[in-house]
């Protein structure tokens, strides 16, 4: 690895100040599981300085707030898997976190870092997108909040501006506890990039699909929602046939590529299967008092 400068940020505000000071020559270091590997293998020059945010306590933690479920950007995948609060309110995110890389990767890698890679196959993205997650961004001009979908621009491209930093992810209060599930298919069971991943959620206390949401990964330039499938499901009685049809419709909304890992046609078949499984997984989490949770 080629040499580079290094500074450690005390908190998020200090990190933004350092990013502004060093400008385009600075890179953010969180868990480092992607960045350091890229630095070792990249033919391009390293950044002038690495801004280490790993000690910023205000970027950590999982908590319920008035706005919803807050997850600090520096929360590791292992912390998500082990969190009783996540298990109670957002088990689909734990399902996604536990299949990210190896144990060492999950111990160091952060949810914010996973989102900021902006690769279409990210495992954290579909569940958060299906639950209408918001992200808070801090920059020289202050804080702003945007839908997670607006963070994703393209492969490895985000909408963050100059010296801006992702500080937290918030699941809106109305979706905290919404039954949801995550599915992933890779070439092997461990340490595999997704050929396709999918998340789905809905309220179902009255026996119909209420506010259904479906998100897909690895089948477009960014993680995407499947609005046509969602609209088709809304208000229909819950059944396996409806889940299967929603999967088929979702496949028509994707634009997968053919590469050395799988053909586009195979990925389209996987979408239909995984969406059906994710909807079934969400249905298994429906509870009789679900209508009260939604309100």
- Tens-digit pLDDT string for the chain (295 aa): 778 899 999 999 999 999 999 999 999 999 988 888 788 877 788 889 999 999 999 999 999 999 999 999 999 999 999 999 999 999 999 999 999 988 999 999 999 999 999 999 999 999 999 999 999 999 999 999 999 999 999 999 999 999 999 999 999 999 999 999 999 999 887 778 899 999 999 999 899 999 999 999 999 999 999 999 999 999 999 999 999 999 999 999 999 999 999 999 999 999 999 999 999 999 999 987 654 343 4
Q: Tell me which residue has tokens 């995110």.
A: 93
In this prediction, residue 293 carries a pLDDT of: 43
Residue 291 lies in a domain: no
Domain of residue 216 covers 180-286
**Residue 294, domain member (yes or no):** no
Give yes or no: residues 72 and 151 share one domain. Answer: yes
Contact 165, 19 (CB under 8 A): yes
Residue 157 lies in a domain: yes
> Helix (H, G, I), strand (E, B), or coil: what is residue 292?
helix
Name the E strands within 140-209. Answer: 142-147, 152-154, 157-158, 165-172, 180-186, 194-203
pLDDT at position 137, please? 98
**Contact between 164 and 139 (Cβ < 8 Å):** yes
Is residue 229 within 8 Å of 250, Cβ to Cβ? yes
Shared domain for 155 and 198, answered yes or no, is: no
* pLDDT for the residue numbered 291: 46
Q: Are residue 112 and residue 220 in the same domain, yes or no?
A: no
CATH number of the domain within which 122 lies: 3.30.465.10
- Looking at the structure, tell me whether residues 69 and 169 fall in a common domain: yes
pLDDT of 10: 97
Burial of 294 (0-12, 13-18, 19+ CB in 10 A): middle
Using the structure block, give the residue that is written with the tokens 């990925």.
Answer: 267
* Residues 236 and 261 grouped into a single domain: yes
Residue 288: phi and psi, rounded to 5, are -60, -30
C-alpha closest to that of 29 among 49, 2, 58: 49
201 and 238 co-located in one domain? yes
* Residue finishing a domain among 126, 154, 175: 175
Any domain includes 222: yes
Examine the fold and report which residue of 175, 208, 228 is the final residue of a domain before the chain moves on.
Answer: 175
Alpha-carbon gap, residue 194 to 184, rounded angstroms? 6
- Shared domain check, 146 and 81: yes
User: Is the domain of 42 the same as that of 82?
Assistant: no
Number of domains composing the chain: 3
Q: Are residues 73 and 128 in the same domain?
A: yes
pLDDT for res 243: 98
Same domain, yes or no: 156 and 72: yes
Clarify whether residues 145 and 97 are in a common domain: yes
Q: What is the pLDDT of residue 3?
A: 86
In a domain, 295, yes or no: no
Decide which of 150, 175, 200 is a domain's last residue.
175
Residue 89 lies in a domain: yes
List the CATH number of the domain containing 249: 3.30.390.50
- d(Cα 240, Cα 281) in Å, to the nearest integer? 11
Contacts of 82 (CB under 8 A, 6+ apart): none
Res 280: pLDDT? 98
**Paired tokens of 130:** 């299906």
Specify if 293 maps to a domain: no
Q: Is residue 147 domain-shared with residue 255, that is, in the same domain?
A: no
DSSP string computed for 211-223:
EEEEEEESSSSS-
Residue 144 lies in a domain: yes
């Amino acid at each position: 690895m080629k040499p580079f400068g290094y500074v450690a940020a005390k908190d998020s505000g200090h990190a933004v100040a350092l990013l502004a000071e060093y400008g385009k020559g600075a890179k953010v270091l969180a868990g480092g599981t992607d960045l350091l590997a890229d630095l070792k293998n990249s033919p391009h020059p390293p950044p002038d300085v690495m801004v280490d945010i790993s000690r910023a306590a205000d970027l950590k933690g999982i908590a319920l707030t008035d706005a919803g479920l807050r997850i600090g950007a520096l929360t590791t995948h292992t912390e998500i898997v082990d969190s009783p609060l996540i298990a109670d309110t957002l088990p689909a995110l734990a399902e996604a976190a536990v299949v990210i890389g190896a144990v060492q990767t999950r111990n160091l890698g952060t949810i914010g870092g996973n989102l900021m890679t902006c690769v279409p196959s990210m495992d954290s993205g579909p569940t958060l997108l299906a639950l209408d997650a918001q992200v808070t961004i801090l920059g020289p001009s202050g804080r702003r909040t945007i839908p997670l979908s607006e963070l994703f621009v393209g492969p490895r491209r985000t909408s963050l501006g100059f010296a801006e930093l992702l500080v937290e992810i918030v699941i809106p209060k109305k979706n905290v506890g919404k039954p949801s599930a995550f599915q992933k298919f890779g070439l092997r069971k461990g340490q595999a990039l997704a050929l396709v991943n999918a998340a789905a959620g809905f309220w179902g206390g009255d026996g119909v699909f209420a506010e259904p949401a479906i998100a897909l990964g690895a089948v477009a330039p960014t993680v995407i929602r499947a609005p046509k499938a969602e609209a088709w499901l809304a208000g229909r009685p819950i059944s396996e046939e409806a889940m299967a049809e929603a999967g088929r419709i979702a496949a028509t909304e994707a634009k997968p590529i053919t590469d050395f890992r799988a053909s586009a046609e195979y990925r389209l078949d996987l979408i239909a299967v995984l969406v059906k499984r994710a909807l079934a997984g969400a249905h298994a989490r429906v509870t009789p008092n679900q209508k009260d949770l939604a309100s």
